[in-house]
Amino acid sequence: MSIKSIKTFFLSFFRELFVYHHRSLEFRAKLFASMIASNKVDNTCEYETLKKIAKEIYKDDEYRVDILVHTTKEYVNKIIQNDALDIDRLILDIDREIKKHKRYINKINMDHLRSFYSCNADEETILLQTRILEYYESEIRFRKDS
Protein backbone atom coordinates (compact mmCIF):
# COMPACT_ATOMS: atom_id res chain seq x y z
CA MET A 1 0.00 0.00 0.00
CA SER A 2 1.46 3.35 -1.01
CA ILE A 3 1.66 6.47 1.12
CA LYS A 4 -0.93 8.13 -1.13
CA SER A 5 -3.45 5.31 -0.71
CA ILE A 6 -2.90 5.30 3.07
CA LYS A 7 -3.48 9.05 3.19
CA THR A 8 -6.58 8.73 1.00
CA PHE A 9 -7.95 5.97 3.23
CA PHE A 10 -7.24 8.05 6.34
CA LEU A 11 -8.85 11.19 4.91
CA SER A 12 -11.81 9.22 3.65
CA PHE A 13 -12.31 7.47 6.98
CA PHE A 14 -12.12 10.74 8.91
CA ARG A 15 -13.65 12.90 6.19
CA GLU A 16 -16.06 14.53 8.63
CA LEU A 17 -13.08 16.03 10.45
CA PHE A 18 -10.51 16.67 7.73
CA VAL A 19 -12.30 17.16 4.42
CA TYR A 20 -13.68 20.58 3.59
CA HIS A 21 -17.36 20.40 2.56
CA HIS A 22 -17.47 16.66 3.20
CA ARG A 23 -21.28 16.62 3.05
CA SER A 24 -21.26 17.90 -0.50
CA LEU A 25 -18.70 15.25 -1.44
CA GLU A 26 -20.78 12.53 0.23
CA PHE A 27 -23.88 13.72 -1.60
CA ARG A 28 -22.07 13.34 -4.92
CA ALA A 29 -20.76 9.94 -3.83
CA LYS A 30 -24.33 8.81 -3.13
CA LEU A 31 -25.48 9.98 -6.56
CA PHE A 32 -22.70 8.07 -8.29
CA ALA A 33 -23.19 5.03 -6.06
CA SER A 34 -26.86 4.84 -7.06
CA MET A 35 -25.82 4.55 -10.70
CA ILE A 36 -22.90 2.15 -10.14
CA ALA A 37 -24.70 -0.18 -7.73
CA SER A 38 -27.57 -0.62 -10.18
CA ASN A 39 -25.17 -2.75 -12.23
CA LYS A 40 -24.71 -6.10 -10.51
CA VAL A 41 -21.89 -7.15 -12.84
CA ASP A 42 -18.29 -5.89 -12.94
CA ASN A 43 -17.81 -2.28 -11.86
CA THR A 44 -14.40 -1.66 -13.44
CA CYS A 45 -15.73 0.53 -16.24
CA GLU A 46 -17.92 2.48 -13.81
CA TYR A 47 -15.00 3.27 -11.52
CA GLU A 48 -12.90 4.43 -14.45
CA THR A 49 -15.78 6.67 -15.52
CA LEU A 50 -16.17 7.90 -11.95
CA LYS A 51 -12.47 8.77 -11.76
CA LYS A 52 -12.75 10.82 -14.98
CA ILE A 53 -15.81 12.64 -13.65
CA ALA A 54 -14.15 13.29 -10.29
CA LYS A 55 -11.10 14.77 -12.04
CA GLU A 56 -13.42 17.02 -14.00
CA ILE A 57 -15.20 18.18 -10.84
CA TYR A 58 -12.12 18.58 -8.63
CA LYS A 59 -9.53 19.63 -11.19
CA ASP A 60 -6.74 20.68 -8.87
CA ASP A 61 -7.39 18.47 -5.86
CA GLU A 62 -6.05 14.95 -6.36
CA TYR A 63 -6.92 13.85 -2.82
CA ARG A 64 -10.52 15.05 -3.14
CA VAL A 65 -10.79 13.00 -6.35
CA ASP A 66 -9.51 9.92 -4.53
CA ILE A 67 -11.78 10.51 -1.54
CA LEU A 68 -14.83 10.84 -3.81
CA VAL A 69 -13.97 7.55 -5.52
CA HIS A 70 -13.28 5.83 -2.19
CA THR A 71 -16.48 7.12 -0.60
CA THR A 72 -18.52 6.06 -3.62
CA LYS A 73 -16.99 2.57 -3.39
CA GLU A 74 -18.01 2.43 0.28
CA TYR A 75 -21.64 3.15 -0.60
CA VAL A 76 -21.61 0.68 -3.51
CA ASN A 77 -20.16 -2.04 -1.29
CA LYS A 78 -22.82 -1.41 1.35
CA ILE A 79 -25.52 -1.81 -1.29
CA ILE A 80 -24.02 -4.88 -2.95
CA GLN A 81 -23.42 -6.62 0.37
CA ASN A 82 -26.98 -5.68 1.40
CA ASP A 83 -25.46 -4.28 4.55
CA ALA A 84 -28.23 -2.04 5.90
CA LEU A 85 -28.39 -0.09 2.64
CA ASP A 86 -30.10 -0.67 -0.67
CA ILE A 87 -30.64 1.52 -3.71
CA ASP A 88 -34.13 2.53 -2.58
CA ARG A 89 -32.88 3.74 0.81
CA LEU A 90 -29.96 5.50 -0.83
CA ILE A 91 -32.29 7.37 -3.19
CA LEU A 92 -34.59 8.30 -0.30
CA ASP A 93 -31.55 9.59 1.58
CA ILE A 94 -30.55 11.65 -1.47
CA ASP A 95 -34.09 13.03 -1.61
CA ARG A 96 -33.97 13.99 2.09
CA GLU A 97 -30.68 15.78 1.58
CA ILE A 98 -32.07 17.68 -1.40
CA LYS A 99 -35.04 18.80 0.69
CA LYS A 100 -32.75 19.84 3.54
CA HIS A 101 -30.07 21.53 1.40
CA LYS A 102 -31.65 22.95 -1.73
CA ARG A 103 -28.21 23.94 -3.10
CA TYR A 104 -27.48 20.24 -3.67
CA ILE A 105 -29.75 20.39 -6.71
CA ASN A 106 -26.88 22.21 -8.42
CA LYS A 107 -24.57 19.28 -7.65
CA ILE A 108 -26.62 16.91 -9.80
CA ASN A 109 -25.05 16.85 -13.24
CA MET A 110 -27.18 14.67 -15.47
CA ASP A 111 -24.46 14.39 -18.13
CA HIS A 112 -22.09 12.93 -15.54
CA LEU A 113 -24.71 10.44 -14.43
CA ARG A 114 -25.60 9.50 -18.01
CA SER A 115 -21.96 8.68 -18.73
CA PHE A 116 -22.41 5.44 -16.76
CA TYR A 117 -24.67 4.13 -19.54
CA SER A 118 -21.63 3.39 -21.67
CA CYS A 119 -20.54 0.71 -19.18
CA ASN A 120 -23.66 -1.43 -19.52
CA ALA A 121 -24.98 -3.87 -22.05
CA ASP A 122 -27.60 -5.40 -19.78
CA GLU A 123 -31.13 -4.15 -20.51
CA GLU A 124 -32.23 -4.52 -16.90
CA THR A 125 -29.37 -2.32 -15.66
CA ILE A 126 -30.02 0.30 -18.32
CA LEU A 127 -33.72 0.34 -17.40
CA LEU A 128 -32.94 0.76 -13.70
CA GLN A 129 -30.43 3.53 -14.41
CA THR A 130 -32.95 5.26 -16.66
CA ARG A 131 -35.53 5.20 -13.90
CA ILE A 132 -33.00 6.60 -11.42
CA LEU A 133 -32.11 9.40 -13.84
CA GLU A 134 -35.78 10.17 -14.48
CA TYR A 135 -36.32 10.45 -10.75
CA TYR A 136 -33.38 12.87 -10.39
CA GLU A 137 -34.65 14.92 -13.33
CA SER A 138 -38.10 15.18 -11.78
CA GLU A 139 -36.57 16.22 -8.45
CA ILE A 140 -34.53 18.91 -10.17
CA ARG A 141 -37.61 20.28 -11.94
CA PHE A 142 -39.73 20.12 -8.79
CA ARG A 143 -37.13 21.68 -6.48
CA LYS A 144 -36.17 24.46 -8.87
CA ASP A 145 -39.83 25.42 -9.30
CA SER A 146 -40.57 25.50 -5.58
How confident is the model over 40-83, as pLDDT tens digits? 777 789 999 999 999 999 898 887 888 899 889 988 988 888 76
End-to-end CA distance of the chain: 48
Give residue 82's region: left, alpha or beta (phi > 0; psi -120 to 50).
left
Q: Is the pLDDT of residue 146 over 80?
A: no
What pLDDT, on the 0 to 100 scale, is given for residue 46? 93
